[in-house]
Every structure is written in C-alpha cells, then in structure tokens.
C-alpha cells in the first residue's frame, strides 16, 4: 500500500490502508430521495458523521485494549516497519523516510541515555522552532518514556523560566539560534540543577552542553520497550502551553489517553493515506502538534480554525475547490466541534450522538460582571437557539479535564460547579458561542481579558504585569485594538507614569523585548494621568478599545513600537496613515475588481434585472425578501414580477421605453412592480409617497409617465389629483381588487389572474447602459422636487457600494429607508440583489422594533441615516443592547459623537460612512472607519473621477474666482465647495424636463477654459491624511456679523447639553440687518424642562458670539423629510414672531441668558432700539 509523504507532519496518524472518506464526492452522489433532502438538507451528512463517530470510538477502544498498551509512539513504529522507505518528512531540500526518522530518533534517545543528568522517564523541555529535529527529539523522548514540554520559542526571560518550571522539567533541549535566550535564564536553570543541551557541535558557555556532536556519535539501534514500561494511559505525554485569560502561560497536560484520542479523531477530517500534509503552524502549539499561478496545485483539504466567513469565501474563490474543515477545540478543553458539512462561518454542528458522548451546553453570561447568569436556585440558565452563551462541557470519566501542571488555582478557575443541577461539574471554555436554528455552531467571542494577534492568544494581565515592572510605568491597562487589514487585535496599553518618571521609549522597548514574545508586545502605548476603573475596580477597556489609536481623536500622548528604531516613538499622523495603508490596498483591489466587472458589463450588456435573474437561477429557494410575517424566495419574486409584467402589458399596454410612475410605500409589491416594469423594458419613476397635490402632479409630469400605479392606502392622494391626470390622458391603477372611482382601475385582481411564466428577453432587447432605468426625485435646496435621471450604468455603480464595504452573500440586510430614494433603492435593494442576499423590508423606521427585528431575523447589515443612529442612542439603555448579529452599518450623515456612542452601546459594529447624491458624479466611502469622516481620498479614484474643493463665497453664494476668471482650489485643511468633473466616465445626466435646474448644477471654466464640473452644493474639508469631512450644505450655512456660521457645528454643540435631544439650526432674516441671525428649533429629552441659563452658559463657553443662536424654539418633534433630513426652509420663513408661532420661544439677552420671547422684544428688534 502506498502512503504519500507528509510535508512536515505525521502520516502514522492515519491507517496504512486507504479508506473512503465521509466527504468524498462519490459518496455525496448517492441517491437520496428528493423529499428527504429537501426536508432535512443535512441529514445525510449527519448520518455519515454518526459513522465517523462510531469509527472513532471503535478505533479508540481497540487501541485501549491492546496488550501491551499501544500509544502514539507505537502507531509510528508500526508505520515505520510497514513503510520504511516511504518519505515521511520533507523540509526544505531535505527528505526523511519513516526508517530515517526512526533511526534519527534512536540516535537522539541513545545520546540522551548516556548524558549525565538524564534519566529515562523524567520530563524534558523542547525549545526550538519548526524543523525535523523537533520531531526526532520528541520521538526519542517518547521512546524513553519521558513527557515532553513544548516551549513557545518566542517567550523569554521570566516567562521562559515560568513555563520551564511549571512542568518540573529536568532537561532542556534548545536550538542553536535560541542560545541567547537560554543564556538569559541560565543562572536560574543551573541553580535548579537542570541539564541544558544545545543542538550545536561545540559550546564554550559553562552550564550549556553541546548535543549535536553526541547525537552524531550515538548508535541508531532501537531501544527496548522495557525502557518505557512505566508509561500508562494516564501518564503525561506532552505539556502544551496556553495563555488562558489571565496571568503567565499555563501548561496544559496532555496525557497518553488524550493523545491517542487525537489519533482517532484525525480520520474525521477525511485525511487519506495518500495525502500530503503541509504544516506551517508552530509545533509547540496544539494546532501544529496534533494535526496531520493561484489554482495550480493539488491541495484538496484544509484543516484549521479561526477562519472568518469572508476570508473563507475569498480563499475558495481565489484558490479553487478546496474542502475546508473548520473545527473548534482547545489544548486543555474536553469538548470540540467539527464543521463536517462545510457551512461557511460555522465551527461545527450540534449532533445528538456527539452531545450524548460529550455533554455540553451554552449558558447565559454577564460580560460586565464576568460571570455566568444564575437563576433563583443558583443554577445557570441555558440560552435559547440563536442566543449567544458561554460554552461549558461536563467533566466526566469520558470527558475529563486534567488541568494545568503546577497550577491548581488556574485549574480550579476553569471548573464551573452547580451548572444545571447541584453538585455537577463543568469545564468553562471561556468562549462565547451561538447555535442557530439549523444547529450550526458559531464562535462569537472570548470572555475575559485575552485577545488574539498573529495567531496567538495574548493574556492582558501578563502583559500588564510585565509593563508595570518597567522603570517608568506605574500602572498599565492592556487591551487589543483592531488594525484595518489585519486579523485579530494588536496590543495596546493605556498607562500611567511613576511619580517623577518620564517616558523613555528605548528603555521600555528593551524591557518588553526581554520579557515578552513579539506577538504579545504592545504595539501602541497611550499615556494617561490615571487609569479608568469601574466601581468594582476593574479596568475599563471597552471605551479605550473603541477609541483605537487615532492621534486625531486622542489628545493624550500616543507611542508606537518601532523595531527599526528599537524604541517606542511618537505616533504621528504620518505613521498612522502608513498603518492604515493596509485598508487602502484592500480598497484599491476592490476598486480594480469593480472596474473589471463594469468593463465586462459594457462589453456584454446586462442590467440589474439580469443580475436578479442570475440570482434566481443560482439559488432559487434562497429567501430574498422578508416583510412582516411573510417571506419570499428569489424564485417567488421572479414569478410575482412575471405576473405583474404580463398584467401591465395586457391592461396598461406598456412596452419597451415607456415610463410608469410608482406611488407606494415600502412593501413587496414595490419590488415586484419595478422588476415587472424592467422585464418589459420600461422606466420606473419612483414617486415620494409623501408628496401631495401640486407637488405630486409636478413629479408625475416631469418624467412623462404614461401610467401611475399607486398603493391602496394612497387612494385619497390620487383622487385629489385625478382631474389633472385625466386631462393628460394618464392611466391610473391602484393596488386593490376593485375600484369604484371613474378613472382609477384596479390592478391587484389583474395581477392575480396573470400567468407567472417567464417573459421573452426580446421585450427589452434595445436597453443599454446609457438607457434611463429610473427617475429618482431629489429636493435639492430650492423649488419643487427634481427628477434625477438614473441610467443602467448608474444603477450598477450604486449597487457596488455594498461590495466596497464588504457585504457578502450570507448577510441579511435590514432595509427601512424609503424605496423611492437612492439610499433605499440603489444602495439597499439593488446592492442586495448584486450580492444575492436576503433583505428584511419594513414599511418605515420603528425605534421600538429596530433591534427586535434585527434579532428576530438574524440581521447582519443595516443601512442608516445619521438621525436614525441618534434616535437609537437616545432610547433607554437595555441589558441586551449588544445581543444582536449586526456587524456592518452602511449609511451617511453620522455625527462623530453619535458614532462613538453607538459603538460603545451596541458593540463592535463596523460603520461605513459614505457620501454621494442621486444625481452626483462624485462620491466617497470611509473604508477605514475613521470616526467623523465621510471618506478618504484615493489616487485611483481621483484618476477615474476627477474632483476638487474650490473656494466659495457663502454671502454671494458663488464660487470665488481669480483675476483670470478661474476657480481657486483650497489647500488641505480648508473648507471648499466640492465639484466633480463632467466627462465620458463621470457624466451628469441632469433632471428630467428641467433644463434650468440642470444648468444650475453645472460649473464652467473651473480650472481651464471650457471645462465643465458638477456643483455638488456641499462644503467639504480634506485633512492632511486625505480624510474627507462634510462641513455643511450651501443654504445650510448662513452669514452673520460678516462671519460664516455652519448650522451643523452649532447643532452639534447644542446636542451636548444634557436635556436637549434634537436641534435644528437655521438662519432667519432680521429687518434692518445684513445676513441672517442664528435660530434653533429644539426638542427636549423626555420630561426635561428648558433651562435658559444652562444653554446660555454652554453656548457662551463653546461658540463665538456671532454663532450663538439668538432665538430658540421648543418643539415636540423636529420636522424631518422622508429620508430624515431636517426641514429648515419653513422654519426660516416663520421666523421668530411670537404672535405667529405657538411653540415656546426664547431670546438670547446679552448678559442675562435666554429669556421668553415677547411682543415687546420683537418690536424693539424691528424698530432697531434693541441692538443684536
């Protein structure tokens, strides 16, 4: 029987005979009744998993019953006898057969036996990296019956001594390159009488014995099994170190029984005897020690843990059809899971037989108190399906927990008593998990104070202890921070200086290098006057984690570890920018991919409808839309839209090129109607469901629609404008089964009777990228709504926003924004179709149902408008605020303070703030998560979509031009008007039937004679690092006392007053005065009362005199648009006349504060006797 070599692994872990694996394609092709597969999609895999478990048990029991006892070493010796000349290990250019490996380990064993200070059976420690001698030495020690402590070769000094001592090793075998680390602790080892062997041929250091020369001279004769006759199943085999959640590393004891179990479990991964295993994980770690042009390879299987869902998908997409087996386990744990179905993102699956053999459960866990939640009887509470809980596993004879060597305290801390009944005993994994309704298990987080970096667990308490030993630091709060483009979290410490000490970056660098492995060294240091603690004196980390390491947001001194300078150096904006370059590269790759995708679409045209039909073909039964209590698959949506298309073709005589207006709110029929119109090659005009009367007729008329389709609930609004519509010969349909009103036809009944068969693509054969697809209405800053022309190319580009921010096909999007708007329709619905995801659609935003909906439907991505996020932050806090699966929030208009509040309260949600407008030809995405920014400049984007910020005169409301008549670009850091160059790749199509407004948005002769730019109407600022910030909207900035006042800035300051919930700031005209004076409409929190003195004191402290609102108006609610933008125009028109306004009004009286506005004050102002 042939057995292929393992690249740095052990083939003896598998049987020499080839067996069919439980996951091979031939088996999956077995005929299974279709109905059974449909009802129980994972039943076949579950049954095969039962077979694997039985095989594991039989193998395990068989090995246990063999006499003399058969351990892992015996398994190797059997393979060496059967496959002596077969390659076993390939390392660089070296190849070692099974026989070579056996002989090499014999030589090391014989050399050890002759070495003074070594006795067979004593514990020895290995301190070396991945190399063949690691394997040879481990096998040699196993032949001598010696337990082996596998030391992490990154540890140094105190940690190295601790790890060595806690396993009571008598011998240390170290690699030559680690000589310096050994010499550092040599005095302590010599005091303990430890024999130190270095893998070199000669050594002059007293206390260190050369060992390679002794091995060369030793015989390669086999050792008698009697040498290890003392070994039993309960004897220690290896010690593997785990940082756990606190203190120095702990030595998890792996006995022979546990090692034998690992050999039996290997077969569950589907590893075949002919496979070649590639190992690059450290052999001192469980993962490495216990495990067996891009697509041009023969890799068929990948075994491991910790792969994120998005990386999983990317890996398969890039490197081909590799079977990934994600698993969950820990060195010392007594429970593990295997994802035997290949479900992306899951670490395993609940199986009744597995649970019977290895009892476990998830219990509720209080992350603030850092302990399980218990009921009135003192017992733990099991979590329900879909809820996150602490994984605990019952300690039994079959599932023991051996604990940590020489560390009874930490061993006891991992035990949980009285879990489900009095007297029971469970192992506390320290991991928060979640089990979904399909019984898949997902890793959520790690409890305690451990974070993971470079594939290693870092115990914050250990790092904190080491830092506090330094000359300059008094106290250190250590935590992990996310670094864009990197897995895990990098170490950071908020520290205080010792009295009279100053920060010495070089000394601190030397200190951490001496005591900590590279992955555990804090990359960032933040100096504080005091370390924040809770009322129970636990260090506060959450706020610090959220603040990260951005020098723009943190005023305290920041330092970064610089290995080249061998020091902690000040963290400057330039260094911060270079760290973020990882995100910049990711953005560039994504942008290039989108560009390539668009090139293909241009070459072989397809529309968003075609994309939808492709999703229908690929996953017809996947849920596409969830609305209230109903769910619709992609195939159902296809059939419903087919019926709509046929009904409209027959009864409304709509054909390719016609326009139909949709006048309804968020509901599935909106989506079916749009898809149906697209199948006919028609253009959809998306009317704002809130417009009425004159505005409604205007919106309908300017897109030249032939048909109006309205929701049943909007019948009244339609009847109001029906005469005007009938005059124009417009067909009007309403989504009801019947209509008694002349001129209004029912449509629901006609759709119901229509056929749901697919329509011919020839009906839309003349559609192209430049053909109008939609009309979406934007109010702009003045006049009636304008219909922005959105062609098919623009639909595609807008949909790609979800690609840019990392939405993937397994996400569930929560969509409550109106579908008549760009955000809801293009970014939300079309983006979801492009990604092939599930959409949870709501009629409108509900503050009381938001999080309940997210939990109910397992929402992972949400869209937002800034005001919505603030509404959520203003709700009363609840214990379950962080109990959700939302990982991504995409939107715009989020203020920095709300951004920070949202993250602190609702957990680690990635916020992707973006900027754009329906008709605009320029936009930005904040792809790095910089708080407050709407995006970041990128040279690739600027090359393809040229733009600039130019000086703008807010008083004259026009761009400032130089003596040659050209605009002036503002320098970095200054506010300017954003303009985007109009060209072939960045067109501006304007507004339907509104040439005047279209021309007003064009700016000519900007930098050269004859050039043409789009005027965004927005004032932005770009800082030195290229981050883009929204400053204000032209029209939202007013001028008073010769100064520009930004309404958003004033509103932000007002919102920091503790009793103000909302603030809408605007400028009002004052008779006899130039410009406009500041006024604010306020909504107070709850039952709070207005305190004029407090507000006055606040604005006096934070705002210059010209920016302080002179008038305040208290409202029950601040009026907003359908997309939650504040309404200012009407308020500005109403002014501050107490005779006209019924709301409470207040006037800022110099030196006194805000006093009630009276008619006398108004008269004094208008007559000019009261100076402003």
Decide: 1091 and 1123 in contact? Cβ < 8 Å.
no
Listed residues 1031, 1057, 1088: the one ending a domain: 1031
Answer yes or no: is 884 within a domain: yes
Indicate if 574 and 708 belong to the same structural domain: no
Q: Which of 469, 405, 100, 471 is nearest to 239 (CA)?
A: 405
Indicate if 672 and 808 belong to the same structural domain: yes
Indicate if 363 and 464 belong to the same structural domain: no
> Chain centroid to CA 519: how far?
22
Tell me how far apart the alpha carbons of residues 886 and 908 are, in angstroms, rounded to a whole number.
9
Indicate if 264 and 380 belong to the same structural domain: no
Listed residues 1031, 1064, 1095: the one ending a domain: 1031
Question: Integer distance in angstroms from the first to the last C-alpha of the chain?
Answer: 98
CATH number at residue 53: 3.40.50.980
Answer yes or no: is 368 within a domain: yes
Answer yes or no: is 530 within a domain: yes
Q: How confident is the model at residue 913 (pLDDT cuts 50, 70, 90)?
A: very high
Which helix or strand (DSSP H or E) is residue 661 part of?
strand 659-663
CATH number at residue 1111: 3.30.300.30
What's the pLDDT at 1105? Answer: 78
Q: Is the pLDDT of residue 6 over 70?
A: no
What's the pLDDT at 197? Answer: 96
What's the pLDDT at 1070? Answer: 87
Q: Is the pLDDT of residue 237 over 90?
A: yes
CA–CA distances in Å: residue 882 to residues 184, 444, 540, 885, 887: 46, 12, 17, 9, 11
Chain mean pLDDT for the chain: 86
Decide: 355 and 64 in contact? Cβ < 8 Å.
no
Answer yes or no: is 937 within a domain: no
What's the pLDDT at 581? Answer: 65
Lowest-confidence region among 42-56, 977-991, 999-1013: 42-56
Answer yes or no: is 993 within a domain: yes
Phi, psi at 242, each rounded to 5°: -130, 140
Answer yes or no: is 839 within a domain: yes
Indicate if 1002 and 1057 belong to the same structural domain: no
Indicate if 226 and 245 belong to the same structural domain: yes
> How is the beta sheet containing 707-710 ordered, strand by strand?
744-746, 731-734, 707-710, 659-663, 683-686, 772-778, 786-791
Indicate if 615 and 720 belong to the same structural domain: yes
Query: What string of DSSP letters covers 319-356?
Result: H-SPEEEEEE--SS-S--EE-TT--TT-SEE--HHHHH
Lowest-confidence region among 364-378, 906-920, 927-941: 364-378
What's the pLDDT at 870? Answer: 84
Structure-model confidence comparison of residues 186 and 154, the more confident one: 186
Indicate if 221 and 73 belong to the same structural domain: yes
What's the pLDDT at 29? Answer: 43
Tell me how far apart the alpha carbons of residues 681 and 655 are, in angstroms, rounded to a whole number.
7
The total domain count for the chain is 6
Answer yes or no: is 126 within a domain: yes
- Calculate helix-pair angle for 72-82, 132-143, nearest 10 degrees: 110
Decide: 1124 and 867 in contact? Cβ < 8 Å.
yes
Tell me how far apart the alpha carbons of residues 11 and 348 are, in angstroms, rounded to a whole number.
25
Question: Using one digit for the tens of pLDDT, what is the confidence trace for 777-810?
Answer: 875 434 467 899 999 999 999 999 999 988 988 8
Indicate if 1025 and 1041 belong to the same structural domain: no
What's the pLDDT at 583? Answer: 64
Answer yes or no: is 82 within a domain: yes
Q: How confident is the model at residue 1043 (pLDDT cuts 50, 70, 90)?
A: low
Indicate if 20 and 116 belong to the same structural domain: yes
- Calculate helix-pair angle for 256-266, 72-82, nearest 10 degrees: 50
Lowest-confidence region among 268-277, 673-682, 952-961: 268-277
Q: Is the pLDDT of residue 537 over 70?
A: no
Q: Is the pLDDT of residue 12 over 60?
A: no
What's the pLDDT at 496? Answer: 94
Host domain of residue 467: 460-579
What's the pLDDT at 267? Answer: 55
Listed residues 446, 469, 495: the one ending a domain: 446
What's the pLDDT at 263? Answer: 67
Indicate if 812 and 687 belong to the same structural domain: yes
Indicate if 193 and 100 belong to the same structural domain: yes
CA–CA distances in Å: residue 753 to residues 419, 599, 642, 664: 59, 41, 12, 22
CATH number at residue 758: 3.40.50.12780
**pTM of the shown model:** 0.55
What's the pLDDT at 1137? Answer: 92
């Amino acid at each position: 029987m042939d057995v292929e070599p393992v690249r740095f692994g052990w083939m003896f872990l598998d049987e020499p005979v080839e067996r069919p694996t439980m996951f091979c394609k031939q088996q999956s092709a077995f005929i299974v009744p279709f109905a059974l597969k449909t009802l129980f999609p994972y039943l076949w895999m579950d049954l095969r998993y039962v077979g694997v478990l039985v095989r594991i048990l039989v193998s395990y029991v068989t090995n246990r019953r063999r006499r003399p006892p058969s351990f892992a070493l015996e398994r190797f010796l059997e393979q060496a006898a059967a496959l002596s000349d077969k390659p076993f290990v390939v390392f660089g250019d070296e190849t070692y057969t099974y026989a070579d490996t056996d002989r090499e380990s014999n030589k090391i064993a014989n050399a050890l036996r002759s070495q003074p200070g070594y006795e067979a059976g004593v514990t020895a420690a290995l301190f070396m990296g991945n190399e063949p001698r690691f394997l040879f030495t481990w096998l040699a020690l196993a032949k001598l019956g010696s337990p082996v402590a596998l030391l992490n070769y990154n540890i140094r000094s105190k940690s190295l001594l601790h790890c060595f001592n806690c396993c009571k090793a008598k011998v240390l075998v170290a690699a030559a390159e680690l000589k310096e680390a050994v010499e550092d602790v040599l005095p302590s080892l010599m005091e303990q009488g430890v024999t130190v062997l270095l893998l070199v041929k000669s050594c002059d250091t007293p206390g260190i014995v050369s060992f390679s020369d002794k091995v060369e001279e030793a015989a390669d004769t086999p050792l008698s099994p009697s040498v290890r006759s003392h070994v039993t199943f309960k004897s220690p085999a290896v010690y593997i170190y785990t940082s756990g959640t606190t203190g120095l590393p702990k030595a998890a004891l792996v006995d022979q029984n546990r090692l034998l179990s690992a050999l039996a479990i290997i077969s569950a991964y589907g590893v075949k005897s002919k496979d070649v295993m590639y190992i690059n994980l450290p052999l001192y770690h469980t993962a490495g020690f216990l495990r067996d042009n891009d697509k041009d390879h023969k890799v068929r299987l990948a075994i491991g843990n910790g792969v994120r869902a998005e990386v999983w998908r990317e890996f398969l997409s890039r490197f081909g059809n590799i079977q990934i087996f994600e698993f969950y386990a820990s060195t010392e744990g007594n429970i593990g899971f295997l994802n035997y179905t290949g479900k992306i993102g899951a670490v395993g699956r609940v199986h009744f037989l597995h649970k019977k053999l290895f009892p476990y459960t998830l219990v509720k866990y209080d992350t603030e108190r850092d302990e399980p939640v218990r009921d009135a009887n003192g017992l733990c509470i099991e979590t329900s399906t879909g809820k996150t809980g602490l994984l605990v596993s019952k300690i039994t004879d079959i599932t023991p927990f051996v604990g940590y060597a020489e560390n009874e305290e930490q061993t006891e801390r991992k035990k949980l008593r009285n879990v489900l009944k009095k007297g029971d005993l469970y192992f506390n994994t320290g991991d928060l998990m979640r089990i979904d309704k399909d019984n898949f298990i997902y890793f959520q987080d790690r409890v305690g104070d451990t974070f993971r970096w470079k594939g290693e667990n870092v115990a914050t308490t250990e790092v904190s202890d080491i830092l506090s030993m330094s000359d300059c630091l008094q106290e250190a709060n250590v935590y992990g921070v996310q670094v864009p483009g990197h897995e895990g979290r990098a170490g950071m410490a908020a520290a205080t200086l010792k009295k009279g000490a100053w920060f010495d970056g070089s000394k601190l660098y030397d200190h951490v290098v001496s005591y900590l492995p590279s992955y555990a060294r804090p990359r960032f240091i933040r100096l504080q006057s005091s370390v924040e603690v809770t009322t129970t004196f636990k260090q506060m980390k959450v706020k610090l984690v959220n603040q990260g390491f951005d020098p723009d947001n943190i005023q305290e001194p920041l330092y970064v570890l610089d290995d080249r300078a061998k020091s902690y150096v000040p963290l400057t904006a330039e260094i911060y920018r270079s760290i973020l370059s990882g995100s910049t590269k990711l953005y560039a790759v994504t942008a290039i991919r989108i560009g390539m995708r668009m090139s293909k679409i241009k070459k072989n045209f397809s529309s968003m409808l075609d994309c939808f039909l492709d999703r229908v073909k690929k996953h017809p039964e996947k849920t596409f839309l969830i609305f209230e209590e109903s769910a619709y698959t992609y195939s159902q949506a296809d059939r419903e839209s087919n019926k709509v298309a046929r009904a409209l073709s027959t009864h409304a005589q709509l054909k390719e090129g016609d326009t139909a207006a949709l006048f309804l709110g968020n509901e599935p029929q909106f989506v079916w109607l749009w898809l149906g119109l697209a199948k006919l090659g028609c253009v959809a005009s998306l009317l704002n469901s809130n417009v009425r009367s004159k505005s409604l007729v205007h919106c309908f008329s300017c897109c030249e629609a032939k048909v109006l389709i309205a929701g049943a609930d909007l019948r009244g609004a339609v009847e109001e404008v029906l005469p005007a519509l009938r005059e124009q010969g417009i067909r009007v349909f309403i989504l009801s089964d019947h209509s008694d009103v002349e001129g209004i036809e029912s449509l629901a009944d006609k759709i119901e009777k229509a056929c749901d068969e697919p329509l011919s693509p020839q009906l839309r054969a003349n559609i192209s990228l430049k053909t109008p697809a939609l009309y979406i209405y934007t109010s702009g800053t003045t006049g009636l709504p304008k219909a922005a022309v959105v062609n098919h190319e623009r639909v595609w580009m807008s949909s790609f926003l979800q690609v840019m921010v990392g939405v993937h096909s397994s996400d569930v999007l929560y969509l409550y924004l109106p579908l008549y708007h760009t955000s809801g329709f293009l970014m939300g619905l079309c983006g979801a179709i492009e990604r092939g995801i599930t959409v949870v659609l709501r009629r409108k935003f509900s503050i009381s149902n938001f999080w309940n909906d997210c939990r109910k439907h397992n929402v992972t991505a949400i869209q937002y408008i800034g005001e919505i996020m603030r509404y959520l932050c203003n709700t009363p806090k609840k214990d379950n605020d962080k109990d959700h699966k939302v990982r991504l929030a995409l939107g715009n208009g989020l203020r920095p303070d709300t951004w920070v509040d949202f993250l602190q309260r609702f957990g680690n949600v990635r916020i992707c703030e973006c900027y754009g407008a329906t008709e605009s030809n320029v936009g930005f995405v904040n792809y790095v998560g910089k708080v407050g920014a709407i995006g970041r400049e990128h040279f690739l984007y600027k090359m393809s979509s040229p733009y600039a910020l130019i000086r703008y005169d807010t008083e004259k409301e026009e761009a400032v031009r130089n003596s040659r008549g050209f605009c002036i670009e503002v320098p970095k850091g200054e506010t300017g008007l954003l303009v985007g160059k109009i060209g072939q790749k960045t067109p501006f199509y304007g507004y339907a039937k509104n040439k005047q407004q279209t021309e007003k948005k064009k700016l000519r002769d900007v930098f050269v004679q004859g050039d043409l730019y789009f005027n965004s109407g927005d004032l932005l600022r770009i800082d030195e690092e290229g981050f883009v910030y929204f400053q204000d909207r032209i029209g939202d900035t007013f001028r008073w006392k010769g100064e520009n006042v930004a309404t958003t800035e004033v509103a932000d300051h007002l919102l920091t007053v503790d009793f103000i919930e909302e603030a809408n700031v605007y400028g009002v005209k004052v008779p006899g005065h130039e410009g406009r004076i500041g006024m604010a409409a306020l909504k107070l929190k709850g039952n709070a009362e207005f305190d004029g003195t407090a507000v006055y004191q606040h604005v006096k402290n934070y705002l210059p005199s010209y920016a302080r609102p002179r008038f305040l108006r208290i409202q029950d609610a601040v009026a907003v648009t359908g997309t939650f933008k504040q309404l200012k125009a009407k308020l500005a028109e109403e002014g501050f006349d107490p005779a006209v306004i019924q709301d409470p009004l207040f006037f800022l009286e110099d030196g006194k504060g805000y006093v009630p506005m009276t008619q006398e004050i108004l008269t004094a102002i208008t007559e000019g006797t009261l100076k402003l």
